[in-house]
Amino acid sequence: MQMNPSPARMDAQLASLKQALCAAAPEGHFSLAFSGGLDSRFLAYCAKLFAFSVRLLHISGPHVAAEESRHARDWARDHGLPFDEISMDPLSVPLVAAGDKRRCYGCKSALFSRLLREAGRPLCDGTNASDGLAYRPGAQAIRELGILSPLAMCGLTKADIHRLAEENGMDDPWQKPRPCLLTRLPYGMQPERSVLEMLDRGESAVRRSLGRAGLPPVDFRLRLTAPGTLELHVLLADEPVFALLPWDRLQADIARAAPGLPAPKLTFLETLSGYYDHGISLDNLQHQE
């Protein structure tokens, strides 16, 4: 049985994070690439707790769910933190436009280069220690640009962040991830703004359907796995939740919200992250360049 960390360990982890922030921002101020997801919110929350001056930089564009940008704006306002929204279209980045396997690398290179021009250094992001355990080509771009990742620097994992956020009173400590919409498309498929918008609307429809049925929020992805093939990917552990929601009703809700999408197939998976990345290593991609 997995044991929860003791209060002393949690205090030590926060102290380590504070040390990492002091190393990253020795003058007490920094800019933060802020998606509004759990990791960047936790880093911003702790920076304020530790009396650092932090400026939140949020990039909006066709790759970001509209609801995600609204949430980021609202959270920054509610917590009294400076917030700047920068509009950028990564579909113009060649690796992204081609649907290349290195699209995340090309996207992060372009986006963080823009943030550096806007804010200068020190610039931090919310990468955590768990991110190093999976294929993350964007992480290479972040390292190459010298972006600092205090959560990873002090060894905090995703599980640590969930627990520390809850223990220290941060709102929504078990927030579900909502990664870049480009991850809903297979490699080799050229992304189109209209398709990304429909996938965004379709996922929002699923969330509304769950809420209307009084069901708890679950983690899922609506993916266009091939031309004309749409799949709703849900964690196998959440199958009992979806069993309570009539499938024909959910299909109708998606069709009304995003009429340009094909009818989805419901697929249960052990894990959701990295669906298109199985068998890919960053070393292999580097050899292809």
Per-residue confidence in pLDDT tens, the chain, 289 aa: 344 555 556 689 999 999 999 999 999 999 999 999 999 999 999 999 999 999 999 999 999 999 999 999 999 999 999 999 999 999 999 999 999 999 999 999 999 999 999 998 999 999 999 886 566 778 889 999 999 999 999 999 999 999 999 999 999 999 999 999 999 999 999 999 999 999 999 999 999 999 999 999 899 999 999 999 999 999 999 999 999 999 999 999 999 999 999 999 999 999 998 899 876 554 444 434 3
pLDDT of residue 4: 53
The confidence score (pLDDT) of residue 75 equals 99
Name the pairing type of β-strands 53-60 and 29-33.
parallel
pLDDT of 139 reads 85
Residue type, 258: A
Q: Are 107 and 96 in contact (CB under 8 A)?
A: yes
End-to-end CA distance of the chain: 45
Domain range list for the chain: 7-167, 181-269
For residue 265, how many C-alpha atoms fall within 13 Å in the half-sphere facing its CB?
10
| pLDDT at residue 3 in the model | 41
Out of 3.40.50.2300, 3.30.450.40, 3.20.20.190, 3.40.50.620, select the CATH number for domain 7-167: 3.40.50.620
pLDDT of residue 210: 95
Q: Other CB atoms closer than 10 Å to residue 289's CB: what's the count?
A: 6
Quick count: other Cβ atoms within 10 Å of Cβ 62? Answer: 20
pTM above 0.85, yes or no: yes
| Beta strand segments in 104-216, E | 123-124
CATH class as words, domain 181-269: alpha beta
pLDDT at 284: 46
Contact 234, 192 (CB under 8 A): no
In sequence order, the 6+-apart residues with CB closer than 8 A to the CB of 287 are none
